[in-house]
Each structure stands twice: as C-alpha cells, then as structure tokens.
A and B are shown apart, each in its own frame.
Chain A
Amino acid sequence: MTAKIGFIILAHSNSRRVAQVGQYLIENGGRVFVHFDAQSGVPRGFNLSGGMTASKFKTSWGGFGLIDATLHGIEMLLLEDSTLTHIVLMSETCLPIRSFRELREHLTDHPRTDFINCFDFADADWIGDGLAEERLTLFHPFSFRTQRRAFDLNVALQRLLRVQRKPPEGITPYIGDQWWCLTTETIRRVLCNPNFETMKRFFRTTWIPDESFFQTLVANWSDMPSQPALTCAEFDRSGKPYVFYDDHLDHLRSAPAFFARKIWPEADMLYDTFLSHAPKVRSEHRVSMRSKTSQIRRHASNMGQNTDHRRRGYRLTSTKFYVFVGFGTADTGFADHLRGSTDLVVYPQVFKRGAQFTGADLTPGNVLLSPRNLRYNPHALVANILNSHADGSVALCFEPGDQHGIWSTLLRTSSAHIVFLEDHWRARCTDGSNALRKRRVQAIYNRMIARDLIKNLRADFQTISWDAFQSDRHIAFETLGNSTDGSDRQRARLG
C-alpha cells in the first residue's frame, strides 16, 4: 500500500516560507495542517489552498503549547483523512531536501516503522547545555524566554527544597529531537492508551516537553521498530540548532535525511532548488552531518586567538615550541650553536631585561621586538612571535634574571617543550671574568632563581645535567628528536 502522508507545521511568523513549503507538499499529494502561534495569530494574507490552518495555542519555546498544537494537528489530520499512514511533524524552518516521491517510496517501504529519535533520559549526553534531569524532576510553570527571572528563581527554590518528581508508574522517560515521522498506527495506540491523560498532566509542567513527550510515549507504548528521525537537525555547543544558508547547498544535497532544519528564511536558492519539480541530481559522495561539526571543531581550535581572550589566561599557541633555560648563561655562543645545528628559529634575548635587540627586529609577523614592547605586554609579544612561525620551529632562550612574568605562562602552556640545564648558575663561578666576591653573589642569586624556576616545572620537561653539557655542548639539541617518547623525561633529581 502506498504511503499517505500528513504534515503538521508548527509556525510563528514566517508565513511566506510556510506557504511555499505547504503548497509544495499539498501539490504532491500530502495533507497539511499549519498551526500558528496564538500570540501572533494567522498572518494576514496567509493562504494555503487545500490545507488546514489554526491558531489555538501559545507555542512558546519550551512550553507545553507545542504539544497541544501537535495533538490538535493530529486530530484534525485524522478527521480530514482517516486513511493516512504517516504523520510528519515539521517546523516553519524545516525544508524537504529530497523529492516527495523519494519520501513516499521510503515510507511505503517501511510501513511499520516510526522515525523518531529516542534516547534513554539517563543518557544525558544528548542534552548539550542547560538543565538535564531537572527538566522532568522539577516543576516548570514559568516560561524560560519571557519569565526568565521567575524561571531561575523557581528552579533554585525547588533545588533547595529537594523536589524530586517521579514519572508515572512504569514509565521510563526518553528524550530526543522534537521532529519526527510516526505511523498513524502508533499514534492511535498512544492516544488510546488509558494512561494518556495522566501522561499529559505530568508533562504539562515539565520543561521542553516537545523533546520528551512523544519520545517517552512512543518508546514505552509502541512495539513497532523505530529508526532515527528523518529530519537532520544538529546543535552547536551552546545548544542552538545550526542554520543553513545558500552556501550549504551541496552539503544538504548529500545529507542522509529527508528534511533539514533550520533553513534561513532568506536562503532563496535552497528553497528554489529543493522545492522545484525538476528531478534533482544527487551528488555521489555522502557526507555525514558530522562534517559540519568537525568543521567547527577544527576552526575553534586555533581561530580568533587575538580576539579570543579567556579569563583563565593567555593561550600562547597550539603548535609546539622549545624553551631553553639557562644555556645562554653557561655558554654565550649557545644561540649560534643552536642555529647552526638545527633548523630552529632562535630568539635568544626575548625575555632579557633591558635587552638591546639587534639585526632584524621584526619577526615574520611584523612584531616589533623591543624592550619596551616586552615590558608592556610580555605575553602578547611571545604569543605573537610564536604565531608568526606557524610551522612551529621556534626556540626561545630563557636565562635566570630574565623577566619572570612570562614563566608561569610558559609552564602552563602544554605546547611548550622546556629544556632545562641543571646547575647552570655554576657558570659564572668558573668563567673568571668578574671579581671573586661579585661572582659569588651573582651565582648565589642565579641559584636562587633557578630553584624558584625548577620548583614549578611540570613532569614532562627535559633536564640536562651540567656535567653532560660540559663534556658535549651538542647534547642540548641532539636529544630533541627523540625527546617525544617521554620515558626518560621524568628524571628524578631536581634542584
């Protein structure tokens, strides 16, 4: 038997697109019921020939009015045509992204399948942001959007009183996306269940029941097999649904779903393409909806670093860089050695107090290396230096007596590979250039600082002992290659 499909469209104000989508569905043989939010009413000039329109319930976000409107829609559709086999719930921003014929064939092939996402409520992973179990265990008589203060106060009060509502006897709560496609058989079974009114009473004072009412009822009372919903709606990390624009055309063409949401109302190309009657060319490769999410993750990792200021402190960079501590004190030619033997870009004096920068004072990012700049904002200067070498081959040299402000940040930065020369303060005792007394004072001072530095070192830094360095100066950078396997990193003795 060919599937006969009814559609419920829950709308607020977007009458132009609702009419367009509704007309498309009707022309292809679907039955359509449109419900407009009672607060805005049916927009003037809205005309859907062959469809039904109502505006009975306040369908504010997160409230039970959405369920009332849906139930009303089911009733109206079944009264109009009792031979319907499936009912699809859509929003005003949903758009069919495959031809109606394909949808009908798919439903004809699956006459006894409900397409609805149901997850066990205990599996809280599904809820991205906001209240989780408390959606059901507390009473929520206030609107989250319009009565925010009352809502928050109410939640706080009930937490204080330890309110714990229990769902009706023998019912396991389920949760999932609001948009579904159910068989009329399941719907009838749910509506005729003797406990239906009890369930309605329970869910009336829960929060966002549109994501749990039908899900719970279908999962508990229907024994038909269910499959994931036909609507692809993914949410970003703050819990907002993604919006699709004209540039997502290819993405939607290859999405493994029959409906997409949300579509930006002005995305003319999307509406024109998917609602045209011409047969559509589907691209061969199928990209999962996840590609969009991964795209975001990728961008979030390193983008907007300049304007992205976390209160937790500066994030220097995510690419690896080296910090050599104390080597310059021990060996004045160390920086040149390093340059000669490795392909690292070496910044020997970035942290030095009162340093006079010589030669090329601009890094590849046009960052001005000047003592004033360093003193003014050391974090920013270092971050800029690192960012201007995106390939991550930077070595910074840090000596005792340098500006300490940056040290804690370096320690916090997981991408910093710190190479520490043990007992580097000894250097001044052996070079013999200063008067004895002055030399000793300097050495004691350096030793104090070295102890201070070493105190906070993480476990994964690399230390090189003084004696080893004296016998072979290249040991500092010869180990760089294999320093990543980490087994020998945790040397026991520190300061």
Chain B
Amino acid sequence: MTRIFELLRLRTERSWLLFRSMVKSRELRLVSDRLNQIEPGDILLFFCARNELQRLPFFFDYYRKIGVRHFIAVDNGSDDGTTTFLSTQPDCTLWVATGSYRSARFGMDWINALLARYAVGHWAIIVDPDEFLVFPHQNVRPLRALLDWMDAGNIRSFGALLLDMYPKGSFSASSYVSGENPLDHSPYFDPQNYQSKLDRFYSNLWMQGGPRQRIYYADRPERAPALNKIPLVKWSKQMVFRSSTHQLLPRGLNVTYSQSAIPRPCGCLLHFKFLPSLKQKAEEEQKRREHYQYGQEYIEYLKRPDALFWTDHSAQFQNWQQLEELGLMSRGDWV
C-alpha cells in the first residue's frame, strides 16, 4: 500500500515538474537557431550560463573533442559578451532567458523544457560551464564507445562525482587567461575526503566532502554542497531533473552505482569553480540572491576569499587511471 502511495507521489511530482518546465519555457527566446544541424544519434550538450565568457572557449574545445555534436545553451542575462560568443559558435543553438534564475529552479526548468523538446532519443550531457567530464578509457576511446556499450546493456544514466579542483595558492590571488586549460590553473584535488549517504526515497547517493566541506562547512558538514551528479543521460520523454543534476525522475535512473557484485562504470566531473573571477562573481551573486539558499555558498566564499585549499596531502590531477586508483571513479565491467 505504501508502495502505491510512493509511486503515486513520484508520478505526481514528475508531472508537476514537467508541467512547470513547460510554463517556464515561455521565458525562453530563441536567439540563434542551428537546430537543423542535429542528426539522429548525435550527442547533445545542454547548459545554462551567465557571464561565463572567460570559461567558454575551453569548455567548447573540450566537449567538441570528446564528441559532442551540438550545444544547446541558455543565457541568463549576461553582460560580458557571453551572448555574442554563444551566438557565433557554429554548433550552438542559443536561447536567452529573461526570467529569474531562482524561480526557474536555478535554471533547471529551462533545461528540462529544452531536454524534453530536443534530447529525446539522444544521449545528453548536462553540465555547468565549469564542469568537465572525465570517463573511463578517455585516453584511448571516444565517448561514443561508452555510450554504445551502455546502449547495448540498456543502461540509461551515467553517474559522476563532482571533484572540486583548486590551485596551490589562494584562488583570488591567482590569474587565469580565457581559453587556457583550467587544469593548468587548478590542478589539485582532495584524494579521499568524500562521504556518501543513500537517499532511500529517490534511490540516489548524496555525496559530500571535498575542499568546500573541509574549509567552509567544517562546523556543519551536513550543509556542504552535494557532489553526486548525473551528467550523461539517454533522454526519453518521461524524464525530468528534480534537483539540479543530482536527482532524476523516474527514480530508477538515479541508481548509477552498483547494487550487486557487478560494478557499474562511473566518472568524475572536474569542477573548476575556484578561478580568480569567483570573487567578483560572489560579490555580484550575493547582491542578486538568485542562487541556491540565496547564495549562501557565495557568502561563505566572500568571508574567506584567501582560503587555502591546498595541503601537503592534496593530489595533482594526472589522468583517469589515477582517479580510478583512488576509488573516485570506476571502469566497472567496461574493460
């Protein structure tokens, strides 16, 4: 009986989210339309951006190399030339969102709406402009190989751990040039400091930890940002993201980890948040109060902009094998 109620609740929530995203999609205005380039089976990338001009050149390079065929972007009120940059990319379709980021559930309503319209039947990558996907065998195989393998096994979602990357010194005092590989700027990460809890209702793992928990949330670890992500999904029309890209409905898609002795491949998302521009961004976001928990996270950054993340124990990023050796990702049965 409880199970029936559970299923009913999930179904209602899913329908509500889909309905909501449809309503919110009216805030989107198509600026540059290259949708006719999309061919069946193409890998699509969906993202939301605001004043990200500095990161975008490398972002596009990286994902094009991996095998993304078309970018679908939502620009939310940029004033630094991001809009122009995005509208001039030959493989990018751009929407401009006029509404509030916050009331669109931090952009997820827009993304959900676009996913429902264009991603059905495709593999979709859903990331932020500061997140870079690392997957098993990346050095020798294209992403398409992994997707074909998952298709053959009827696996529809691929989980990743959000790995916060940081520089050796304080982030506000460093320098980063647009187009530069952010790995040259922030090559370090925490090798072990991660925890997970199982969400019994939505079946996802809540992962926390990393430098942000260690530095900014030491006295209340439970409030630290979630690090579990589902950046890669074979989209179909009933799917919808619930909470950022942490939770997906139907809930079976959240099981990106192994439940039996058979391991599942999973990856990492290198998260380059700590670029020098973060300080300026944090000041702005603190005023805008458009982010999660009214930008609480940004307030923390501003309190200690010169925090040092780096310690003697920090690891320097080398390749995916290193992350696997540390137990942060896995090739699973895909050898």
Q: Is A306 an interface residue (CB 8 A)?
A: yes
Contact (A299, B335) CB under 8 Å given A304-B266, A372-B218, A372-B219? yes
A307 touches B335 (CB 8 A): no
Chain A contacts of B137 at CB under 8 A?
A: 245, 247
Inter-chain CA distance A243–B152, complex, in Å, is 10
Q: Is B262 an interface residue (CB 8 A)?
A: yes
Q: A167–B92 Cα gap in the complex (Å)?
A: 61
Please determine whether A247 and B141 come into contact, CB atoms closer than 8 angstroms: yes
Within 8 A of A (CB), among B262-291: 262-264, 266
**B195 sits at the interface (CB 8 A):** yes
Please, how many residues of chain A have a CB less than 8 angstroms from a CB on the other chain?
44
The answer to whether B207 and A266 touch across the interface, beta carbons within 8 angstroms, is no
Contact of A368 among B214, B263, B266, B332 (CB under 8 A): B214
Asked if A237 is at the interface of the complex by the 8 Å CB criterion, the answer is: yes
A306 B207 Cβ-Cβ under 8 A: yes
B251 → A minimal CB distance (Å)? 15
Which residues of chain B are within 8 angstroms of A168 by Cβ–Cβ distance? none
Question: Scoring B residues 181 to 221 as 1 if CB is less than 8 Å from chain A, else 0, what string do you get?
Answer: 00000000011111111100000010101010110001111
> What's the least CB distance linking A58 to chain B, in Å?
19
B322 interface residue, CB < 8 Å from A? no
Which A residues lie within 8 Å of B332 (CB)? 300, 304
Contact across chains for A299 and B313 when beta carbons are under 8 A apart: no
A363–B222 Cα gap in the complex (Å)?
Answer: 20
* Chain B 120-158 interface 0/1 with A at a Cβ cutoff of 8 Å (1 = within): 000000000000000001001110110011001100000
The answer to whether A366 and B211 have CB atoms under 8 Å apart is: yes
B77-85, B93-101, B323-331 - interface stretch: B323-331
* CB-defined contacts of B60 to chain A, threshold 8 Å: none
Closest to B327 in A: A305
Q: Please judge, given known A-B contacts A245-B141, A306-B207, whether A363 and B261 are in contact too, CB under 8 Å.
A: no
Complex: A467 Cα to B219 Cα, angstroms: 42
B118 at the interface (CB under 8 A from A): no
Residue A309 is within 8 A (CB to CB) of chain B in the complex: yes
In the complex, whether B314 has a CB less than 8 A from a CB of chain A is yes
Q: Does B259 contact A (CB under 8 A)?
A: yes
Contact assessment for B141 and A246 in the assembled complex, using a CB-CB cutoff below 8 Å: yes
Contact call B145/A245, Cβ cutoff below 8 A: yes
- Given known contacts A237-B333, A308-B330, A380 and B218 CB-to-CB distance under 8 angstroms: no
Q: Which listed segment binds B: A23-31, A208-216, A381-389? A: A381-389
Give Cα distance in the complex from A308 to B257, angstroms: 5
Q: Name the CB-closest residue of B to A377.
A: B195
Range for the number of chain B residues in contact with chain A: 35 or more
B205 contact set on A, CB distance < 8 A: 307, 309
Q: Is the CB of A303 within 8 A of B335?
A: no
Chain B nearest CB from A237 CB (Å) reads 5
Residues on A with C-beta less than 8 A from B190 are 365-366
Which B-chain residue is minimally distant from A378 (CB atoms)? B195
Residues on A with beta carbons closer than 8 Å to the beta carbon of B191: 365-366, 388
Contacts of B194 in A (CB 8 A): 306, 380, 384
| B198-A307 in contact (CB<8A) | no
Bound together, the chains give a CA A439 to CA B33 distance in angstroms of 79
> In this complex, what residue of A is CB-closest to B259?
A311
Known: A365-B190, A368-B214, A368-B218. A303 touches B331 (CB 8 A): yes
Residues of chain B within 8 A of A381, CB atoms compared: 195
A295 to B211, CA, bound (A): 33
Pair B141/A300 contact, Cβ less than 8 Å = no
Q: A305-B327, A363-B313 are in contact. Are A295 and B335 (CB under 8 A)?
A: yes
Q: Encode contact with B along A285-301: 1 for CB under 8 Å, 0 otherwise.
A: 00000001001100110
A44 on interface, CB distance cutoff 8 Å: no
- Tell me whether B161 is interfacial, beta carbon within 8 Å: yes
> Pick the contact of B144 from A236, A266, A305, A376 — CB < 8 Å?
A266
Within 8 Å of chain A (Cβ to Cβ): is B258?
Answer: yes
Q: How far is the CA of A309 from the CA of B331 in the complex (A)?
A: 15
A355 to chain B, nearest CB (A): 15
With CB as the reference atom, state the residue of chain B lying closest to A301: B263
Measured in the bound complex, the distance between the Cα atoms of B153 and A265 in whole Å is: 16
A121 is an interface residue with CB less than 8 A from chain B:
no
Q: Does B167 count as interface, using CB distance less than 8 angstroms?
A: no
Instruction: Decide yes or no whether A464 CB sits under 8 A from chain B.
Output: no
Most A CB within 10 A of own CB, among B137, B149, B196, B220: B196
Q: Is A283 located at the chain interface by the 8 A CB criterion? A: no
State which of A242, A376, A384, A388 has its C-beta within 8 Å of the C-beta of B335: A242
Given contacts A245-B145, A309-B196, A381-B195, contact A372 B221 (CB under 8 A): yes
Instruction: Report the nearest B residue to A302, measured CB to CB.
Output: B327
Distance (whole angstroms) from the CB of A168 to the closest CB of chain B? 35
A365 B195 Cβ-Cβ under 8 A: no
CB distance from B55 to the nearest CB of A (A): 25
Q: Is the CB of A364 within 8 A of B313?
A: yes
A310–B259 CB distance below 8 A: yes
A303 x B263 contact (CB < 8 A): yes
A238 interface hit (Cβ, 8 Å)? yes
Complex CA–CA separation, A309 to B198 (angstroms): 8
Tell me, rounded to whole Å, the shortest Cβ–Cβ distance linking B165 to chain A. 13
The interface residues of chain B lying within 8 Å CB-to-CB of A310 are: 258-259
A376 CA / B219 CA spacing, docked (Å): 11
- Docked complex Cα distance between A364 and B264 (Å): 27
Q: Which residues of B have CB within 8 Å of A302? A: 327
CB distance from B178 to the nearest CB of A (A): 30
How far, in angstroms, from A246 to B258 measured CA to CA in the complex? 27
Contact status B324-A303, CB under 8 Å: yes
Residues in B with CB closer than 8 Å to A240 are 152-153, 333
Interchain CB contact under 8 A, B193 and A365: yes
B207 partner residues in chain A, CB cutoff 8 A: 306-307
Known: A305-B327, A368-B193, A372-B220. A236 touches B161 (CB 8 A): no
Pairwise interchain contact A366-B195, C-beta atoms closer than 8 A: no
Contact A243 B193 (CB under 8 A): no
7 cross-chain pairs, A with B, having the tightest CB-CB distances, nearest first: A365-B192, A304-B330, A380-B195, A247-B140, A305-B327, A366-B190, A388-B192
Can you report 18 residue pairs joining A to B where beta carbons are below 8 Å apart?
A: A237-B333, A238-B153, A238-B262, A243-B149, A304-B263, A304-B324, A304-B332, A305-B327, A307-B196, A307-B266, A307-B330, A365-B190, A368-B193, A368-B214, A372-B220, A380-B194, A380-B195, A388-B313
Other 10 A-B pairs with CB < 8 A, given A245-B145, A309-B198, A309-B205: A242-B335, A243-B152, A247-B137, A247-B141, A310-B259, A311-B259, A365-B192, A366-B190, A377-B197, A388-B191
